[in-house]
Chain A
Amino acid sequence: MRRTNRALNRILLAILGIILLGAGAALIAAGTLPGVADTWTTIGSNLTDQVRQLASTAPIPGPARSWWLVAGIGVLLLGAGLSAAWLASQGGGRTPRLAERSEGADGRTVVDVGLISAAVQDALSGNRNVLATSVSAWESRQGTALRLRMEARHGSSPRELADTAEQLVRQIDSWLGHPVPVLVRITSGARTRTSGAQRAR
């Protein structure tokens, strides 16, 4: 339900993994093949010389010495910024409002998740197979979606629970007047372990 950019996560993780694989391969080659260690050192000193040359082409007075060195620090800071952006892109999208409609000059109608939550809890309070429920709303590309989590009693049929949830959602539909995408999660949790199994009927 979260708004995590999954494709981005996969692409970035794959790129970093390939970079690490390359670094590992280079280290193994330097450790096992006799000529590679020398090549490593040569490439290293060549690169150093090139950077020194480059740094001397755009000198600035003061301690920074060269524009290129300043640009290098800028690149490092840019990398830090992009990492922070990647970090910030994880999760998010939860909203307290399920539906909202503006009535023009007459005002606005907002349906809070709390209302649905209370209604669901009330409707399922007599159901012995549902130990706990939680309701939340999430924003997605296709509008706001409702998520209903039901903790099932040990051994209770998921089909029965799904049918109960479907009935409940149809009632919510008739309440709201327009269907909202709903995801129902049937899980086991802490309450499942502590409360006993269903009795034989």
Chain B
Amino acid sequence: MTQDRTLRRLVRRETHSSRALPSIIVASILLLVFLWLAAESVLWLLNDRPLLASPAHLRQWLVGLPGSTVPAGLTAAGVGVGILGLLLVSVAVGKGRRARRALASDRIATVVDDNVIAAAVSSTSRLAAGLAPGQVTTTVGGRSVRVQVRPTSGVSLDLASIKTALDGELAAYALDRQVTGKVRVANEGAVGQ
């Protein structure tokens, strides 16, 4: 059972983002700001020239901010800062799913990219209906696999065989998240295939 839990953990970590990139960006900015403020404070205490602005100036600027700025500018800045905050919160709270999913297998944890699945589904559907390359395109979304078929003009399309091939393929993958296969036939046909 421990093996099972380890594999589940591996899959979970592979299919979800670690938020490393936003964390690195935010931590770097924080580090720079803290170091800069500390340096400015030391320079201020030693009565030395400030690097950019001394803490006394910063305080004055911050306290007088509503008086020295036009209200519209203040509001706009507030909206900007708020959007940034909302972005961080949504990154932190959101699911962070990546475009890959797990395939059922008993010994190993297998994670497949969505575009590999799409390419494989396209290829099997295409072979099932006897179409040329490029007549079938597939999009893999969160819970659906949509197959778009552009039939050859003047040749009847074997829709049932495409559906069977699609369902068989998806059943063989046994993905961890249930997906439904949908086939859509384009109105325009491909000429001379």
Q: Which residues of B contact A38 (CB under 8 A)?
A: 66
B53 within 8 A of A: no
* Cα separation A30 to B62 with both chains bound (whole Å): 12
A157 within 8 A of B: yes
- Distance from B161 Cβ to chain A, minimum over Cβ atoms (Å): 15
Q: Could you tell me if B119 and A80 are in contact, using CB atoms closer than 8 angstroms?
A: no
Contact residues of A: prevailing secondary structure: helix
Q: Which residues of A contact B79 (CB under 8 A)?
A: 24, 28
CB-contact partner of B77 in A27, A44, A158, A170, under 8 A:
A27
B191 within 8 A of A: no
Question: In the complex, how many residues of chain A place their beta carbon closer than 8 angstroms to a beta carbon of chain B?
Answer: 80
Q: Could you tell me if B64 and A27 are in contact, using CB atoms closer than 8 angstroms?
A: no
Q: Which residues of A contact B86 (CB under 8 A)?
A: 17, 21
A25 within 8 A of B: yes
- Distance from A35 Cβ to chain B, minimum over Cβ atoms (Å): 11
Q: Could you tell me if B112 and A86 are in contact, using CB atoms closer than 8 angstroms?
A: no
Q: Could you tell me if A13 and B23 are in contact, using CB atoms closer than 8 angstroms?
A: yes
A48 within 8 A of B: yes
Q: Could you tell me if B92 and A13 are in contact, using CB atoms closer than 8 angstroms?
A: yes
Q: Could you tell me if A21 and B20 are in contact, using CB atoms closer than 8 angstroms?
A: no
Q: Which residues of B contact A91 (CB under 8 A)?
A: 20
* Cα separation A156 to B110 with both chains bound (whole Å): 15
Q: Could you tell me if A18 and B89 are in contact, using CB atoms closer than 8 angstroms?
A: yes
A128 within 8 A of B: no
A123 within 8 A of B: no
- Distance from B48 Cβ to chain A, minimum over Cβ atoms (Å): 10
Q: Which residues of A contact B85 (CB under 8 A)?
A: 16-24
Q: Could you tell me if A87 and B28 are in contact, using CB atoms closer than 8 angstroms?
A: yes
B63 within 8 A of A: yes
CB-contact partner of B3 in A22, A31, A179, under 8 A:
A179
* Cα separation A154 to B77 with both chains bound (whole Å): 48
Residue of A nearest to B62 (CB): A44
Q: Could you tell me if B91 and A157 are in contact, using CB atoms closer than 8 angstroms?
A: no
* Cα separation A21 to B77 with both chains bound (whole Å): 12
* Cα separation A65 to B160 with both chains bound (whole Å): 86
* Cα separation A72 to B58 with both chains bound (whole Å): 15
CB-contact partner of B38 in A65, A80, A140, under 8 A:
A80
B155 within 8 A of A: no
Contact with B along A132-154 (1 / 0, CB 8 A): 00000000101001000000101
Q: Which residues of B contact A200 (CB under 8 A)?
A: 127
Write the residues of chain A forming the contact surface with B, with a CB cutoff of 8 angstroms: 1-2, 4, 6, 9-14, 16-32, 36-38, 40-41, 44-45, 48, 63-65, 69, 72-73, 76-77, 79-80, 83-84, 86-87, 90-91, 140, 142, 145, 152, 154-159, 162-163, 165-166, 169-170, 173, 179, 181-188, 197-198, 200
A-B contact list, 8 entries, CB within 8 Å: A17-B86, A24-B84, A84-B27, A87-B31, A152-B119, A184-B108, A185-B112, A197-B133
8 further interface pairs, Cβ-Cβ under 8 Å (given A76-B38, A155-B123, A184-B111): A9-B20, A12-B26, A20-B84, A30-B71, A44-B64, A48-B59, A140-B9, A183-B110
5 closest residue pairs by CB, A with B: A24-B82, A27-B78, A20-B85, A17-B88, A44-B63
